[in-house]
Structure formats: structure tokens, C-alpha cells
A and B are shown apart, each in its own frame.
Chain A
Amino acid sequence: MTDKVLMKGNEAFAETAIRAGCGYYFGYPITPQSEIPEYMARELDRRGGAFLQAESELGAVNMAYGAGAAGGSVFISSSSPGIALMQEGLSFLCCAGVPATVLNVSRCGPGIGGIQPGQADYFQATRGGGNGDYHVFVFAPDRLQEAVDLIYEAPLIADRYRNPVMILADGMLGQMMEPIVLPEQRPLIKPADIPAYKPWTVTGKADRGGKRNVVQSLYMQPEDLSRHVEEMYANYTRAEKELARYEADGLEGAEIVFVAFGTTARLCRETIELLGDRGVKAGLIRPVSLWPFPYRAFDEVGPDTKAVVSVELSMGQMMEDVKIGVNGRKPVRLIHRVGGLVPTSVEVMDEAIAILEGI
């Protein structure tokens, strides 16, 4: 059964997580994503799962670690400062190889910042906000349907790689309404089925005929830790090949190429039309995965392109990856707003024309 419905972003995210088979949700209120724990409180237990309001985001991510290590399919959500508190747990989840689906409905920072949309969690998400060598896989939808599809796929990716997957959706997506098609309900895994499906989990050793499982992230011998981190990175190298995703539009013959994710990508599409009306051909590279970043997309940028412009609701965090992708072949510039401000498509057009005139 597939339903086409008009839903608010946060409620669509929560419903999709349930349909994706995430039977365990641990949440804490924070704007602009509080509708998610509210939705889970209403829905999850009566549909066979378990909802719990944690004492803090630290509590929530560690409950997710426990439930995930015990074989449950877990979903957690928060917004920027709350995700900051979860970084300790994300480092543990990655090192211990515990899958989870994590949603950041991001707002602006730093500090308490503001509750308006922002994209300044880019470094936090893609560089690893916690300690040590690790990555979470990060996907950034620009519309609700894509967010639904990605949240539905996330637990499969998390299980396949035994690593957390983060959906980075800014506050605009969380609060907007769009028609979406919801996916079918995946069955929630039963405790008795966990040992067969996830034989590495801690479920009591009787489930394995007395063979003991330990989920750990401490390696006191340098050689052991070195081996473990190298193995994690072999997994990440595979992910870089298999998970890098992007959309590219109108790159051929484009004078200017915008790079944007999430809300700003929607904006850039409008700007591209406005520029077209003025006789300026513009293209768009929209990274769908932020880690792994789709660097190869920039190989498609052609000889007519005079500038590659990163459009961001941050001080230019993604621009660092754009520069790596462009690799010196073109000038790279930034159009940005922070503090919760969002530029209009006309403003982006004016700044783009000024960039072209200045090159």
C-alpha cells in the first residue's frame, strides 16, 4: 500500500522511520524538530515499537547505542545543539560498529544560535564531531519526498556497513508541508529473530550456543586499535565508492555552476531560471551525499564555466569540499547567509552576476 499524503516535514520523517522498521526511538525536545518525539510518543508503542523520552540527548544517543548493540533498529533525531551533545555517542557507535539512523533538523549556530534554518552543521556532520577517526554517512535531501526515500533507505545502509547514517535536513524541510508518497511498512524485527539477522549483537550468549559476544570500542594495545581503525577505513573506502550521490543539471555550456544542498538547492533552481531569462546559462551540482562527498561530480564541469559558486547557509563550510572537487580548475566563490537569514533567488542572481563580472 502506498499513500499520497500532504504532511508536515517532521511528521513525515517520523512516520517514514516507523515504516522503515525503526522500532526504537529515543528523543528529547528541541526546536525545530519537537514534532518528531511527539509523533513517536503517539504512534510507536501502539505499532509494536518502543518510544522513550530521554533525560538528555546524551541519554538518547546512549539508549540508541544499547538498543542498537542489542539488535534493535534504532532512530534518533535532534537539532544542531542537541546533535552536538550526541557526538560522543556517534564516535562510540562508529567505533563499536553499531548501526543507527540519525536525523538532524538543523538550525543556526554557533552556541544556542537561533531556531531558524541553517546549514552550519556541515563540518560537524561530515568531519566527525566527536573524537577519533570515523565518519557517519550523511545525506541531505532538498524536498520531502527525497527525505522520505532516504530515511526509508537509511537503516539498510546502516546495517550493511554497521555504521550510523545521518539525514541532514534543515529546519525549513522540517517545518514545511509537501505532498509525499509514503513507503510500505517494513516489519519490525522481533527479539527472537535478532541473533540470526545480526549475529554480532549482545542478546545473551545462550542464543549462540554459549559463544560470547562483546561490543567494544576500547583497544588498549596500539596494534589492536590500529588494526581496528584500518578496518573501519576499509569500510569507509567501500562507502566512498558505493554511496557518493549527486544530481547535476545544466552543466553543459554553463557560465556559472552553483553547488548547493538542501534548501539552498531549491533556491538555486529558481535562480537558474532567472539567469536564463537574462541570457546567462547556469548549472547546478547538488550533492545528495555530503559524506562521502561526490567529488567526481566536478569532472563534469565544462570549459565554458567561469566560476563554481557554493551557495550555503553557513560561512562557507561546504566550499572546502567544493574546492577539493574543483581542484584548482576554476575559480570557486561563495554566496552565503547566516543567522537564519535565507537569500531570495533574486539576491542570489544579483550576487552571481557580480561574481561573473568580477572574474
Chain B
Amino acid sequence: MKPIFTITEGMLPVSTSYCPGCTHGISHRIVMECLDEAGKLGEAIGVAPIGCSVVSHQFMNVDMLESAHGRAPAVATGIRRVHPDKVIFTYQGDGDLASIGMSEIIHAANRGETFTTFFINNAIYGMTGGQMAPTTLVGQKSTTSPDGRDPGAVGMPMRMSELIASLDGAVYVERVALDTPAHVRQAKKAVAAALEIQEKRLGFTFVEFLSTCPTNWGLTPANALKFVEEKLIPYYPLGVFKTPERKEEAV
């Protein structure tokens, strides 16, 4: 009898260390399923960031290395020079990518580096305990914006997909969300598309996941999903910002 569901070989058979209601488990699994379905688990090299997912190599069943805060795109750039034929990805959170690693991500995208970046945007620093991120929403409370983010003092939340899409080196940019089954299915399509375009070495590919952080948001897992729908998605619109076929439509 043919099984109707099997766990991807891309995920190691261990429990993750992420908090209840955190969507890292979903985004990890989507990325690994797509690599598995493309038959690329053996060819893949992943770069983990600093943040909660620094330990992603304990769960993702591919060759991986840890990078310093924000430097993953530079690390992946170095790997690509040595291995023109492998599948290379970085997996980075919002503090890592949009704050301390802004220089590395922008320049890697602008050079059209042929790896894929999976960007986990939950609008807060997770591992360090809930500080304000570049993506924290206006009015959103964090341990370093206790009265809520004040755009007059610290600027508006940064929309990274739109910023990346404005660079000629980026060929595929999509923002997805992990709050509903329909959105998760779309997220998987985005990952598959990005990896397929990486195979063609056309340029930089980027998928942003609107994700949760119930612990640092101070919400239940169910309410955290609602926060994604009601607060994050209105400010961070979902959709494809760039594809190789529709380069001119970049935001």
C-alpha cells in the first residue's frame, strides 16, 4: 500500500527546539521538502544565521555551516565561488538580515549572487529576547520599544522584499506568510520556484516568510497567527515582486 504521507528526509528525525507556535518548523520543512522533491538534498549547502535558527543545522538534513550575525550572504558568496554546481541557500531572520547584515544582503543581491535567501520576518528579535527589529511595526511593543515603535525616533519598518526587488541583480522576490494552510501551500510554491530559478543561475532569489514569535509578542500561538493576518500582512503585502519573466514590473 502506498503511504499517503511521509516525513521528508530533509528533516532530521528529532524534535526542534523552537517555542510552541513558532513557524520556524514550517519554513524549515518547506525548504527541505522542496530540496527533497527536486532531488537536491545531497547537493545542498545551507548557511545558518545568528538568532533562533542558528541551530537549524540540527534539524535540516543537509551540509550546513554557521555564520556570524548578518554575514550569511557573504559566506554563501564565498561558497558559490568554490562550488558553481551546488544548491546554496541562506536562512536568516529579520534582525540578522535587515539590521546587522544589511550591507551583506544588499550587495549579494545587487551582484546577482546565484544562491537563495530565505528571510524569516517575525518583526522582532527572537533569540536575544524580544527587542525591536528593523521590521517591528509602528506602535508594536518590544523590550527596546516599551511604548511601541515610534517612527519619529527610529524610522518606519523596512520592507525588505520591495528593497531587494529594486536591485537589478535580484531575479525572483516573493513574500509569503505562514498563518494559514493556504498561505503555507503558497509559501512552498515560492520556495520551489526560487530553487528552480537558482538552478538556472539567473541571479539572486529571495523568499520572505511572514512568521510568528508568540513568546516575544506575548501572544498565544493562535493569536500570533491572527497577528500575522491582521497586522503584518496589511503592512507587508504578499505576492511576487519580481520574476525573471517580469523583471520590469519590479516595485
Task: Name A residues whose Cβ lies closer than 8 Å to a Cβ of B.
Answer: 24, 26, 50, 52, 54-56, 58-60, 62-72, 74, 88-89, 92, 96, 191, 194, 202-207, 210, 212-218, 220
Contacts of B83 in A (CB 8 A): 70, 191, 203-204
- Within the complex, which residue of A191, A218, A220 is in contact with B84, where a contact is CB–CB below 8 Å? A191
Which chain A residues border B67 with CB–CB below 8 Å? Answer: 62, 65-66, 92
Across the interface, which residues of A come within 8 angstroms of B77, CB to CB? 52, 59, 63, 66
Contact B66 A96 (CB under 8 A): yes
Contact B103 A62 (CB under 8 A): no
Q: A72-B82, A202-B79, A205-B62 are in contact. List 17 more A-B contacts (CB 8 A).
A: A26-B78, A59-B71, A65-B74, A66-B65, A69-B78, A70-B45, A70-B83, A71-B82, A72-B81, A88-B68, A89-B68, A204-B87, A212-B61, A212-B63, A215-B66, A216-B65, A220-B55
Q: How far is the CA of A63 from the CA of B87 in the complex (A)?
A: 17
A69-B79, A72-B82, A204-B86 given; A63·B57 CB < 8 A = no
Contact A59–B103 (Cβ < 8 Å): yes
Q: How far is the CB of B78 from chain A (nearest CB, A)?
A: 3
Are A202 and B64 also in contact (CB < 8 A) when A62-B74, A66-B76 are?
A: yes
A47 to chain B, nearest CB (A): 14
Instruction: Answer whether residue B85 sits at the interface, using C-beta atoms and an 8 A cutoff.
Output: yes
**A56 CA to B77 CA in the complex, in Å?**
13
- How many chain B residues sit at the interface, stated as a range, is 35 or more
Q: Is the CB of B63 within 8 A of A205?
A: yes
> Is B170 interfacial (CB-CB < 8 Å)?
no
Inter-subunit contact B78/A204 (CB<8 Å): no
Knowing A191-B85, A212-B62, say if A92 contacts B68 (CB, 8 Å): yes
In the bound complex, residues from chain B placing their C-beta under 8 Å from that of A207 are: 42
Bound: A305/B84 CA distance, A? 60
How long is the Cα–Cα vector from A218 to B103 in the complex, in angstroms?
23
Which residue of the partner chain A has the closest CB to B62? A205
Cβ–Cβ contact A67 & B86, under 8 A: no
Q: Is the CB of A54 within 8 A of B74?
A: yes
Residues from chain A with a CB closer than 8 A to the CB of B68 are: 62, 88-89, 92
CB distance from A303 to the nearest CB of B (A): 52
Cβ-defined contact, B57 with A216, below 8 A: yes
CA distance A336 to B132 in the complex (A): 49
Which residues on the B side are within 8 Å of A55 (C-beta)? 74, 103-104, 106-107
Q: Contact string, B132-149, partner A, CB cutoff 8 A, digits 1/0? A: 000000000000000000
Nearest 6 A/B pairs, CB to CB: A206-B42, A66-B78, A67-B78, A66-B75, A62-B74, A63-B78
A55 to B178, CA, bound (A): 33
